[in-house]
Amino acid sequence: MLNCKQTSLLVSQSLDRPLTVRERWAVRWHLFICVYCRRFKQQLLLIQRQMTAWQTGSTAQSSVTLSESARKRIAERLDTFN
C-alpha cells in the first residue's frame, strides 16, 4: 500500500502522464482511505482548471508582445540556470 508521499507524487504525475493499471489502483485505494490526499488531488485539479482557463483567456485578450531583444535577454538569463 502507498503512503501519502508516494500517492501525492503519483497524483501529480497523473496530470502529465497516464498511470499504469497498478498505479491507478494503488492511488484509488489510498484515496479511498485518506482524506488529506483526496483534498490534495482536488486542489491540483482546481489549479489545473484555473491555469487552463487563465491561459485561454490571457492569449485571447493579450495584445502585449516582447521585442526580439527582450526575448533574447530572457532566453540568455534562463540559460544560466541550466
Query: Distances from the Cα of 63 to the Cαs of 55, 57, 70, in angstroms?
Result: 14, 12, 16
pLDDT for 15-40, tens place per residue?
999 999 999 999 999 999 999 999 99
Closest Cα partner for 50 from 42, 38, 60?
42
Domain locations along the chain:
4-79
Model confidence at 58: pLDDT above 70: no
pTM of the model: 0.66
- The number of angstroms, rounded, from the C-alpha of 47 to the middle of its chain's C-alpha atoms is 8
How far apart (Å, rounded) are the C-alpha atoms in residues 12 and 10?
A: 5
